[in-house]
Chains A and B, each alone.
Chain A
Amino acid sequence: MVEIQDTAPTVAKPSEGSPTHARRTVIIDLPRSALAVGSLVLAFLIWQFLSTVLFDPFLIPPPLEVIRTAIPMLMSGEILGDVAISMTRVLVGFTTGSLAGIVTGVLLGRIQLLHDLLDPIIELLRYLSPTAMIPIAVIWFGIGELSKYFLIFWGTFFIVVINTTAGVWRTPVARQRAAECLGASQLQIFVLVVIPSAVPYIVTGMRVAMASSFMSIIPAEILAADSGIGYLLQKSSMLLQTNRIFVALLTICVLGFIVDRIFRFFVDRVLARYMSFVSQT
């Protein structure tokens, strides 16, 4: 029997994104979060100063004025209603788009014939941004919920397809062959090896798609809706209510931030073990 010594590195390299490392990012780092708060406070101070001293407060309402406008909108539930409507649209479109994108991407990555048939079409269609599709979506689906679902779906689908296909392709050949040697069937290799290997790519695609959904819901609601944050922007603009416009804009910032944090939290908690890229020995 040979003496086997322990040669494990005591500290995992951060570049490898080991699960323990991923979890560590959830814990709040006090000095840094203090800095973040400081930076926001500073920004508000400068904004307050500039909009009262240098600029026309009607064009750029100072933050205190914006907050004064926001409170009754929050209290009456007006803005929350619009938030709920917009978020539901994003969520429905994003979820269906992601699911369809993952399924299509996995099939395209695995079946060469299907890829050769569909790839040229996808390569062309992906340049049609959701905004470009608004006019036709309104004619097809009206100004109700369905056209918004469709537009968000449209924006999400192509991003997720392309990332998923890339992930399936980049599954190391050695990993698939090793599984084959161990006795895995083609179906097992596909489900137990290829798809988990593609998870980091799929998640990256979904994050990009989430950001894009936030970008496309607003123009969709500005141009063709009678509810939602985008509609609030449009209506306030028509009535020259710049302070209400700023409330809507701030709401979008906060929502995007919260949703991304929720997404990251989910990834860190549930998918952490799939997120490490290990390749070289």
Chain B
Amino acid sequence: MLRVSNVRKVFESTRGTYVALDGVSLTISDGEFLCLLGPSGCGKSTLLNILAGFEPATAGAVMSGDAPITSAGRERVMFFQDAGSALLPWLTVEENVRFGLRVRKMPKADWQPIIDKYLRMTGLDTHRTKFPSELSGGMRQRLQIARALAVEPEVLLMDEPFGALDAMTRRHMHAILLDIWQRTRKTIVFVTHDIAEAISLADRIGVMSSGPCSVITKLIDIELPRPRDLTNPKVALLYNEIEALLAPDLARIAEHA
């Protein structure tokens, strides 16, 4: 379980102070699929970085189970939008997965079965000897998923992972991710600015206001069965509700643009 209570994040720079998050509280239960949704610059990636342990919160508490989060932890794995930089381009598909097992000091005898299992799960087992530069964008993201799952974390933190993919590939990745989530029951915190993406994936959506001083304005439970069809009236209703929630922020951003 991840617990965020009253987190405040202030960035100090030569140009002044910027309050990114101001009193964010959130509890994420084990096995939950939570989407953080908000306009660009609303601090959702900042919150994710705090959950990952990359950046400390200025005030407030962040807990993983009973332990405070102070650095990157073995149970939480971050997943980046730019797979090209997150992967190791000089290693093949198989070697990229093996890298995680090596640095985590897993017993060598277990490596091959684990690698085989997750490469098969992500459909990459026929591309083992390719380098990341030889893969498509969707395949690189699948490799990132395989590499993350192989070290068997409890929580996947995903920062707009499919944002750079085309619409077709993105839908395909959603299906793969949901399938993997349903089979492995990992906790997933997924950051996005795409309302449709959040609705089709999440158990619960945390809608955030735009910065400065972002907060979670509303938590919305989605109890509709998956796969969710965007033309389903209930889904459409939800979409409109969220859009209305974000409208003031979007209008404000449009003014400044």
For A, the interface residue count at a CB cutoff of 8 angstroms equals 39
CA distance A180 to B80 in the complex (A): 13
| Contact A281–B133 (Cβ < 8 Å) | no
Q: Are A174 and B123 in contact (CB under 8 A)?
A: no
Interchain CB contact (< 8 A) of B82 among A196, A274, A276, A280: A280
A166 touches B (CB below 8 Å): no
A100 at the interface (CB under 8 A from B): no
In the bound complex, do residue B103 and residue A19 qualify as a contact, i.e. CB atoms below 8 Å apart? Answer: no
Q: Is the CB of B76 within 8 A of A181?
A: yes
Question: Are A281 and B127 CB-contacts (below 8 A) given A7-B139, A174-B86, A274-B90?
Answer: no
Q: Is B169 an interface residue (CB 8 A)?
A: yes
A182 in complex: contacting residue of B99, B141, B176, CB < 8 Å: B99
A4 at the interface (CB under 8 A from B): yes
Residues of B within 8 A of A6 (CB): 123, 126
Given that A278-B133, A279-B85 are contacting pairs, would A2 and B164 also be in contact in the complex, using a CB cutoff of 8 Å? no
Known: A7-B138, A8-B136, A18-B134. A279 touches B82 (CB 8 A): yes
A188 within 8 A of B: yes
B148-166 vs A: 1/0 string, CB under 8 Å? Answer: 1001010000000000110
Q: Is B74 an interface residue (CB 8 A)?
A: yes
> How far is A236 from B130 in the complex, measured between Cα atoms in Å?
56
* CB proximity of A157 to chain B, nearest CB, Å: 26
List residues of chain B with CB within 8 A of the CB of A4: 122-123, 142, 172, 176
Q: Which A244-278 residues have a C-beta within 8 angstroms of B?
A: 273-274, 276-278
Does B256 belong to the interface (CB within 8 Å)? no
Contact segment of A9-17, A46-54, A91-99: A9-17
Given A2-B179, A193-B88, A280-B84, CB of A8 within 8 Å of CB of B135 = yes
Alpha-carbon distance A7/B127, docked complex (angstroms): 11
What distance in Å separates the Cβ of B116 from its nearest Cβ neighbour in chain A?
15
The CA-CA distance from A4 to B86 in the complex, in Å, is 22
| B52 located at the interface, meaning its Cβ lies under 8 Å from any Cβ of chain A in the complex | yes
Alpha-carbon separation in the docked complex, A160 to B137 (Å): 34
Instruction: Give chain B nearest CB distance to A125 CB in angstroms.
Output: 29
A181 to B144, CA, bound (A): 12
**B164 with A183: CB separation less than 8 A:** no
Contact status of A19 and B131, CB under 8 A, knowing A178-B78, A276-B90: yes
A6 to B84, CA, bound (A): 18
Q: Is A179 a contact of B84 with CB atoms below 8 Å?
A: no
Pick from B52, B72, B84: contact of A281, CB under 8 Å:
B84
B132 at the interface (CB under 8 A from A): yes
Please indicate the chain A residues that have their CB under 8 angstroms from the CB of B47 in the complex. Answer: none
B64 is an interface residue with CB less than 8 A from chain A: no
Please judge, given known A-B contacts A18-B134, A181-B77, whether A278 and B103 are in contact too, CB under 8 Å: no
- Given A175-B88, A279-B85, A280-B84, check contact A180 B72 (CB 8 Å): yes
A16 to B169, CA, bound (A): 21
Question: Are the CB atoms of A174 and B99 closer together than 8 Å?
Answer: no
Hey, which chain A residues are within 8 Å of B82, CB to CB?
Answer: 172, 174, 279-281
Q: Of all chain A residues, which has the CB nearest B92?
A: A273
B193 contacts the other chain (CB 8 A): no
> Does A33 touch B at the CB level, under 8 Å?
no
B10 to chain A, nearest CB (A): 21
A9, B136: Cβ atoms closer than 8 Å: yes
A177 touches B52 (CB 8 A): yes
Give which listed residue, B54, B131, B136, contacts A276 with CB less than 8 A.
B131
Q: Does A107 contact B (CB under 8 A)?
A: no
Give the chain B neighbours of A172 by CB distance below 8 A. 82, 85-86
30 A-B contacts, Cβ less than 8 Å apart?
A: A1-B179, A4-B123, A4-B142, A7-B169, A8-B127, A9-B134, A12-B133, A18-B133, A172-B82, A172-B86, A177-B78, A178-B80, A178-B87, A178-B144, A180-B54, A181-B78, A182-B100, A182-B147, A183-B105, A192-B103, A196-B90, A199-B90, A273-B91, A273-B131, A277-B89, A278-B84, A278-B85, A278-B87, A280-B84, A280-B164
B interface residues, Cβ below 8 angstroms from A: 52, 54, 72, 74, 76-78, 80-91, 99-100, 103-105, 122-123, 126-127, 130-142, 144, 147-148, 151, 153, 164-165, 169, 172, 175-176, 179
